[in-house]
Chains A and B, each alone.
Chain A
Amino acid sequence: MSININPSSNTVLQLANISLSFGGVKALTNISFDVREHEIRSIIGPNGAGKSSMLNVINGVYHPQAGDIYFRGEKRKQMNPAEAARQGIARTFQNIALFKGMTVLDNIMTGRNTQMKSGFISNAIWVGKARNEEELNRHKVEEVIDFLEIQHIRKTPVGKLPYGLQKRVELARALAAEPSLLLLDEPMAGMNVEEKQDMCRFILEVNQQYGVTIVLIEHDMGVVMDISDRVVVLDYGKKIGDGLPDEVKNNPEVISAYLGTNH
């Protein structure tokens, strides 16, 4: 996997006064924060605080009514998912969004689609270009499979896998795209301790070994405080805290927000 560094500034992503609402319901109100190159940036907050919506805004699944997004210095009102992907933003979803009808291998291969250029005609004829490209990308994918230690389920249909492994496969699919910015939506939700440890290990290695910038949503405070460089706290769609883990931990507003809900 290639390291993709933007020399111009070390702020990769800047969100300015983002507001988002569905019909009348306000999901996000006037939220601003930034993400720096190579950091692990966590977004925390009680359920329904708008964390997932935040990610959806970042990679363009939702389009905010107000506010601007600066990605790699480029200003835009909103992102478009496919374009975001082509620019190196990959993500996983809170409730797994794998392609149920396909094998693990194929699922991860779809992560390479943006890199695969051969048209449908050469695909149909198969020999030559398309095939070489297929093999090249298969090799890349196999590296990811090796990295995430899922060799043994390579050819299993994802539907048949236990939850923890599915999460891992989804991460694999995201990594296969060789992203520079990786959005993880509760990658450890519903995992047992062992699975969580593995997942932590992988996230850290992705971040350190391949220099991928990571925006992380996670409920497990222990994990968040351990691995993130900086933390944003949302509550009812508003930002109530932002800073280093320790700062956030001792922020009274945050504490009160969390006292209300049990996390």
Chain B
Amino acid sequence: MLYREAGQFKTTYKSDSQIFPILQDRIGMALLLLVAVIGVPLFASEYWLNAILIPFLIFSLAALGLNFLTGYAGQLSLGSAAFMAVGAYATYNFQLRIEGIPFILSFILGGLSAAAVGILFGLPSLRIKGFYLAVATLAAQFFVVWCLTKFPWFSNNSSSGVISAQTLSLFGFAFDTPVSKYLLVLVIVAGLALLGKNLARSSTGRAWMAVRDMDVAAEVIGIPLMKTKLMAFAISSFYCGIAGALYAYCYLGSVEPDGFSLDLSFKILFMVIIGGVGSILGNFLGAAFILLLPIFLDIILPFISQLFHLPIPNSVVSHIQLMVFGSLIIFFLIVEPHGLARLWQITKEKLRLWPFPH
């Protein structure tokens, strides 16, 4: 309806292969970024920054990481949290043990460590497929968390492996206020999202999708399976690793290995499913959804209980949350396997065709 595409013709492949080929989308994106960079810091409350926006961005990044592996390359992983943990702990140790290392560098190194671990646990994908692989990734989940708990070195001998993040500072500027942390996270996540999008639309991304959709055919047209799969594992883990580092440094401040449990992995998986497998945007939608849902339930359930005069104890609330999560996953898998991203896509199509229905 707001789209006016007549006259937006492409005279080069460059312009034809832009991320947002339609002018109106470019404008919309620009506005969104403007709000995120200027509007939010001005108006958002501390609660919003700490409890919603920062984790939202971080989880989006983690989901993006998993989406590369599961959504694009078709390798289901249940161990994302483990790679986040590696990222967090590696970053912590680089900060701790290398005098005056720029935190950006330590983040990157953290990400790379995660990537390395990712490749290690990706190796089975060369021999095994599907469920076997999914189960195999659980090995990473349990093993990594166990290692971080049991080897005191990782947590600098703190009890039960808890680490508390050092404050990040760049050229003497310390990222210690919610706003500064938010902006830092925003920049990193936005940047990585852009790189991710480029990857997804490049030959790399196509190779991933080819392997996902039909590995035999992919091999027959000359796509090396091993390289492609391992790269997916590496890049995916790298993104998760960075997300883990941000999780520790910009969100929680101090984390313990058990914080990166199987539940967290599932949470991220759900973000991907509900957001949309094989989509960049989807990760953000999914993260927002999964994060806001509990908050929403906390608000709505007491209201309902009053409405029907039936008391709902807190334990039940958490159980209801589980149920809602579970049924939502099933609902989305049945109704829209491609998640919110596809829904958005459909609405967009409708807007483009307006006033016509199709």
Q: Establish whether A and B are touching in the complex (CB under 8 Å).
A: yes
Chain B residues contacting A113 (CB-CB under 8 Å) are 203, 206-207, 210, 221-223
A82 to B195, CA, bound (A): 28
Min CB gap B95→A, angstroms: 25
Report if A97-B204 is in contact (Cβ < 8 Å); known contacts: A113-B221, A125-B195.
no
Min CB gap A123→B, angstroms: 4
Contact B223 A110 (CB under 8 A): yes
A236 to B89, CA, bound (A): 61
Contact B202 A177 (CB under 8 A): no
Contact B14 A131 (CB under 8 A): yes
Q: Within 8 Å of chain A (Cβ to Cβ): is B213? A: yes
Chain B residues contacting A173 (CB-CB under 8 Å) are 221
Q: Within 8 Å of chain B (Cβ to Cβ): is A139? A: yes
Total interface residues on B, CB under 8 Å, equals 32
Contact B222 A85 (CB under 8 A): yes
Min CB gap A73→B, angstroms: 21
Q: Within 8 Å of chain A (Cβ to Cβ): is B212? A: yes
Q: Within 8 Å of chain B (Cβ to Cβ): is A246? A: no
Min CB gap B229→A, angstroms: 13
Q: Which of B195, B204, B207, B218 has the most C-beta atoms of chain A within 10 angstroms of its own C-beta?
A: B204
Specify which of B13, B195, B198, B204 is in contact with A139 (CB 8 Å cutoff): B13
Nearest residue (CB) in B for A118 is B203
Nearest residue (CB) in A for B199 is A124
Report if A109-B220 is in contact (Cβ < 8 Å); known contacts: A97-B214, A123-B199.
no
Nearest residue (CB) in A for B203 is A116
What are the interface flags for B96-112 relative to A under an 8 Å C-beta threshold, 1 for contact and 0 otherwise? 00000000000000000
Min CB gap B184→A, angstroms: 21
Enumerate A131-171 residues with CB–CB distance to B below 8 Å: 131, 133-135, 138-139
Nearest residue (CB) in A for B211 is A99
Report if A97-B222 is in contact (Cβ < 8 Å); known contacts: A123-B204, A124-B195.
no
Enumerate B177-212 residues with CB–CB distance to A below 8 Å: 195-196, 198-199, 202-207, 209-210, 212
Chain B residues contacting A177 (CB-CB under 8 Å) are 221-222
Contact A109 B206 (CB under 8 A): yes
What are the interface flags for B271-308 relative to A under an 8 Å C-beta threshold, 1 for contact and 0 otherwise? 00000001000000000000000000000000000000
Chain A residues contacting B13 (CB-CB under 8 Å) are 134-135, 138-139
A91 to B218, CA, bound (A): 11
A59 to B216, CA, bound (A): 12
Nearest residue (CB) in B for A136 is B13
Contact A110 B206 (CB under 8 A): yes
A84 to B222, CA, bound (A): 7
A120 to B220, CA, bound (A): 21
Chain A residues contacting B54 (CB-CB under 8 Å) are none
Q: Which of A82, A102, A116, A177 has the most C-beta atoms of chain B within 10 angstroms of its own C-beta?
A: A82
Chain A residues contacting B196 (CB-CB under 8 Å) are 124
Contact A82 B219 (CB under 8 A): yes
Chain A residues contacting B220 (CB-CB under 8 Å) are 59, 61, 81-82, 84-85, 91, 97
Nearest residue (CB) in A for B277 is A101
A106 to B207, CA, bound (A): 10
Q: Within 8 Å of chain B (Cβ to Cβ): is A15? A: no
Q: Which of B199, B203, B218 has the most C-beta atoms of chain A within 10 angstroms of its own C-beta?
A: B203
Contact B222 A99 (CB under 8 A): no
Q: Within 8 Å of chain B (Cβ to Cβ): is A114? A: yes
Chain B residues contacting A231 (CB-CB under 8 Å) are none
Chain A residues contacting B209 (CB-CB under 8 Å) are 99, 101-102, 106
Q: Within 8 Å of chain A (Cβ to Cβ): is B11? A: no
Chain A residues contacting B221 (CB-CB under 8 Å) are 85, 90, 110-111, 113-114, 173-174, 177
A130 to B225, CA, bound (A): 21
Contact B278 A101 (CB under 8 A): yes
Q: Within 8 Å of chain B (Cβ to Cβ): is A126? A: yes
27 contacts between A and B (CB under 8 A): A61-B220, A82-B219, A82-B220, A82-B224, A85-B221, A85-B222, A91-B220, A93-B217, A97-B220, A99-B210, A99-B213, A102-B209, A109-B206, A118-B202, A118-B203, A120-B204, A123-B199, A124-B196, A124-B198, A125-B195, A130-B202, A131-B14, A134-B13, A134-B17, A135-B12, A139-B13, A177-B221
* Closest CB pairs A-B (n = 7): A85-B222, A123-B202, A99-B213, A114-B222, A97-B217, A126-B198, A124-B195
**Given A82-B220, A93-B217, A120-B235, 4 other A-B residues pairs in contact with their CB atoms under 8 A:** A61-B220, A82-B222, A133-B203, A134-B202
Which residues of B come within 8 Å of A, CB atoms?
12-14, 17, 195-196, 198-199, 202-207, 209-210, 212-214, 216-225, 231, 235, 278
